[in-house]
């Protein structure tokens, strides 16, 4: 689920799709239009799922895709070495989410934790 917006409408802290990967925008810089060109914007972002730094340079009038990010809450049902099983508190569906070792220390069975649902993929939103 994604929608199109112009590059000039993007803001820091929002989301954008770069190389088919949803990313959170860390910085945006605009340049003035030149003698024969249009104004450009440089967008620096970090991937939500792969934590890779990505950047693009586009004219500000170019349309770009923005993902629909759903923030949900789930109750922890079980914890394994590499994933956690959550029950969504809205739809009561179960979701398996991969976790890292440091995330595993922060969650407990029976507790409620926030998670993100973006483009058919899920990630824990522990801050």
Q: Provide mean pLDDT across the span 105-114.
A: 88
Task: Clarify whether residues 115 and 80 are in a common domain.
Answer: yes
Domain CATH code at residue 55 = 2.30.30.30
pLDDT tens per residue, range 50-61: 999 999 999 999
Cβ of 49: how many Cβ atoms within 10 Å?
15
The answer to whether residue 79 scores a pLDDT higher than 80 is yes
Task: Clarify whether residues 77 and 96 are in a common domain.
Answer: yes
Domain residue limits at 84: 69-124
Bigger pLDDT: 81 vs 11:
11
Cα separation, 26 vs 42, whole angstroms:
11
Give the total number of structural domains in the chain.
2
Task: Clarify whether residues 55 and 80 are in a common domain.
Answer: no
Task: Clarify whether residues 55 and 96 are in a common domain.
Answer: no
Task: Clarify whether residues 58 and 97 are in a common domain.
Answer: no
Domain CATH code at residue 75 = 2.40.50.140
């Amino acid at each position: 689920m994604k929608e199109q917006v112009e590059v000039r409408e993007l803001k820091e802290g929002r989301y954008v799709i770069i190389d088919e990967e949803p990313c959170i925008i860390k910085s945006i810089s605009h340049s003035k239009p030149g003698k024969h060109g249009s104004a450009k914007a440089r967008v620096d972002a970090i991937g939500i799922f792969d934590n890779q730094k990505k950047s693009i340079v586009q004219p500000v009038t170019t349309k770009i895709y923005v993902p629909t990010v759903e923030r949900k809450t789930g109750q922890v049902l079980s914890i394994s070495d590499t994933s956690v099983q959550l029950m969504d508190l809205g739809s009561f569906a179960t979701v398996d989410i991969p976790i890292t070792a440091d995330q595993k220390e922060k969650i407990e069975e029976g507790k409620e934790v926030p998670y993100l649902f973006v483009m058919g993929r899920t990630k824990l939103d522990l801050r």
